[in-house]
Chain A
Amino acid sequence: MTRVITARGLARTFRARRGRSAQDVTAVAGVDIDVSAGELVGFLGPNGAGKTTTLRMLTTLLAPTAGTATVAGHDLRTDPQGVRRNIGYIGQSGGAGPDCAVRDELELQARLYGLPAAEAAARTGELLDAFDLGDAGTRTVQTLSGGQRRRLDIAMGLVHRPPLLFLDEPSTGLDPQSRANLWEHIRRLHAEHGTTLFLTTHYLDEADALCDRILVIDRGRIVAAGTPDELKRRVSGDLVVVGADSPDVVAGLAADLPGDEPAVDGSTVRFRTPDGAGVLPALLRGMDAVGVAPLSVEVRRPSLDDVFLTLTGRTLREAEADPAETAAEPALGGAR
Chain B
Amino acid sequence: MTTWLIFRRSLRQSLRNPAWVLIGVFQPLVYLALFGPLLIPVVESTPGFPPGDAWQVFVPALVVQQVVFGTLFVGFGLIAELRAGVIDRMRVTPVSRTALLLGRALKDVVVLVLQSVLLVLIALPFGLRAPLGGVLLALALVAVAGLAMSCASYALALRLKSEEALGPVFNTFGLPLLLLSGVLLPLSVAPGWLFGLSRANPFAHIVEAERALFRGDLADPAVLLGAGATAVLLVLCVTWGIRTFHRESA
Interface positions of A (Cβ within 8 A of B): 59-63, 80-81, 84-85, 87-89, 91-101, 104, 108-109, 111-114, 140, 156, 331-332, 334-335
Contacts and interface: CB of A to CB of B under 8 A. Distances in A.
B86 A60 contact: no
Contact of B250 (A63, A101, A108, A334): A63
Interface residues of B, number: 25
A138 to B, nearest CB: 13
Interface in B73-96: 81-86, 88-95
Interface in B84-143: 84-86, 88-95
Nearest to A113: B93
B92 A60 contact: yes
Interface of B: 2, 5, 9, 12-13, 16-17, 81-86, 88-95, 161, 248-250
Nearest to B8: A108
A334 B12 contact: no
Contact of B9 (A60, A81, A100, A113): A100
Give the most central of B9, B81, B88, B95: most A CB within 10 Å: B88
Nearest 3 interchain pairs by C-beta: A95-B89, A63-B250, A93-B85
A59 B249 CA distance: 11
Nearest to B1: A111
A62 B250 contact: yes
A91 B88 contact: yes
B250 A97 contact: no
A112 B84 contact: no
17 contacts: A60-B92, A60-B249, A61-B250, A84-B92, A84-B93, A87-B92, A91-B88, A91-B89, A93-B83, A93-B84, A94-B84, A97-B13, A97-B81, A99-B16, A99-B17, A111-B5, A113-B94
A100 B161 CA distance: 22
Contacts of A93: 83-85
Contact of A89 (B92, B161, B248): B92
B12 A61 contact: no
Contacts of A61: 88, 91-92, 249-250
A276 to B, nearest CB: 44
Contacts of B12: 100-101, 104
A104 B92 CA distance: 18
Contact of B5 (A89, A91, A108): A108
B89 A89 contact: yes
B177 to A, nearest CB: 26
Nearest to A84: B94
B83 A112 contact: no
Contacts of B88: 61, 89, 91, 95
Contacts of A63: 250
Contacts of A332: 82-83, 161
A112 B95 contact: yes
A96 B13 CA distance: 12
B86 A96 contact: yes
